[in-house]
């Protein structure tokens, strides 16, 4: 799952980012409303955490324009404590939840989880490919009934591949979804991670579940049915 955090206070933004990354999300940060809106409308996010008091474009304007363009990505706004009218206005403008500042990270994380759960009811919470399964709520992967221990990046990579099963994903798409917004796509980090992931999910023999597509990227596919000699 990929989350956009729009927050101008750099300390707060990096605190949220770090915490959410530890919860296995991939996180991008924007420090003003205009940049945030630009990112939210040009990239795919599963949720947005939006501060209200922002330079360039405040959170309410962001929300109004974002919803006005037809985007229904869940948004949680960060409001000043006690500012009831802010909460009402935010909800009226299409926010899905609000959290008064200052807050404990645990509460933010719990609300983000519930936001993602609520809005992804129609999305499968268990992804399957061959005998690999992935629980997108608990973030646990299994192969053949065995639990696979993954780092947050490995998890994010596997989830992205499995959500897009059968679709060839270019290195730049994978980079955008799993790594930071402005990551150096020339680096071979994706290949390194794919190698690690294949090892962990025991995908080392042909036919592979994760296949490379020369010059493009990778695809995760169901194994072809074995030939039956009858
Ligand atoms: Ca602010």
Cα 20 off chain centre by:
10
Long-range contacts (CB closer than 8 Å, 24 or more residues apart) made by 219-224: 219/161, 219/166, 219/167, 219/168, 219/169, 220/129, 220/161, 220/162, 220/164, 220/165, 220/166, 221/129, 221/165, 221/166, 222/129, 222/130, 222/165, 222/166, 223/130
The backbone torsions φ and ψ at residue 6, rounded to the nearest 5 degrees and listed phi first, read -110, 105
**Residue 120 pLDDT:** 61
Q: Which SS3 state, helix, strand or coil, does residue 96 take? A: coil
d(CA 118, ligand 1 centre) in Å: 27
pLDDT of residue 30: 97
Residue ranges and CATH numbers for the domains of the chain are 2-119 (3.40.50.2300), 126-220 (1.10.10.10)
Structure confidence at residue 85 (pLDDT): 81
Residue 63 confidence (pLDDT) = 95
Question: How far away, in angstroms, is 46 Cα from ligand 1 center?
Answer: 22
The alpha carbon of 189 and the centre of ligand 1 are apart by a number of angstroms equal to 34
Cα-Cα end-to-end distance for the chain: 45
Query: For the whole model, what pTM was predicted?
Result: 0.61
- Residues 6+ positions from 45 with CB-CB distance below 8 Å: 2, 3, 4, 28, 73
Q: Are 124 and 133 in contact (CB under 8 A)?
A: no
Calculate how far, in angstroms, residue 58's C-alpha sits from the geometric centre of ligand 1: 9
Per-position pLDDT tens, the chain of length 230: 899 999 999 999 999 999 999 988 999 999 999 999 999 999 889 999 999 999 999 999 999 999 888 888 999 999 886 777 888 888 888 888 889 999 999 999 999 998 887 766 546 678 889 889 999 888 899 998 899 999 988 999 999 899 878 778 878 778 877 876 555 656 688 899 999 999 999 888 877 899 988 878 899 988 876 655 54
CA dist 27 → 15, 93, 165, 180, 207 (Å): 11, 24, 22, 7, 33
Ligand 1 ion: Cβ-proximal residues, 5 Å cutoff: 8, 51, 53
Output the pLDDT for position 228: 54
* Alpha-carbon 11 to chain mean position: 21
Say if residues 223 and 144 touch (Cβ distance below 8 Å). Answer: no
Interval between CA 55 and ligand 1 midpoint (Å): 8
Facing residues of 29 across strands? 5
Residue 99: the pLDDT is: 92
């Amino acid at each position: 799952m990929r989350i956009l955090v729009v927050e101008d206070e750099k300390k707060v933004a990096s605190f949220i980012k770090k915490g959410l990354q530890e919860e296995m999300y991939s996180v991008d940060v924007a420090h003003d409303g205009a940049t945030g809106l630009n990112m939210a409308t040009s990239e795919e996010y599963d949720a947005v955490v939006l501060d209200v008091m922002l330079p360039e474009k405040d959170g309410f304007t962001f929300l109004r324009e974002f919803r006005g363009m037809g985007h229904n990505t869940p948004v949680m706004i960060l409001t000043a404590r006690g500012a009831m009218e802010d909460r009402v206005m935010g909800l009226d403008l299409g926010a899905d939840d609000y959290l008064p500042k200052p807050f404990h990270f645990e509460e933010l994380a719990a609300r983000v989880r519930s936001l993602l759960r609520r809005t992804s009811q129609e999305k499968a919470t268990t992804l399957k490919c061959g005998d690999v399964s992935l629980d997108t709520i608990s973030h646990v992967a299994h192969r053949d009934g065995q639990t696979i221990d993954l780092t947050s990046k490995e998890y994010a990579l596997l989830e992205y591949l499995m959500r897009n099963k059968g679709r060839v994903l270019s290195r730049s798409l994978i980079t955008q979804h799993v790594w930071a917004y402005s990551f150096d796509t020339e680096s071979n980090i994706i290949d390194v991670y794919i190698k690690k992931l294949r090892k962990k999910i025991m995908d080392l023999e042909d036919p592979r579940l994760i296949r490379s597509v020369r010059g493009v990227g990778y695809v995760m596919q169901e194994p072809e049915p074995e030939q039956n000699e009858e």
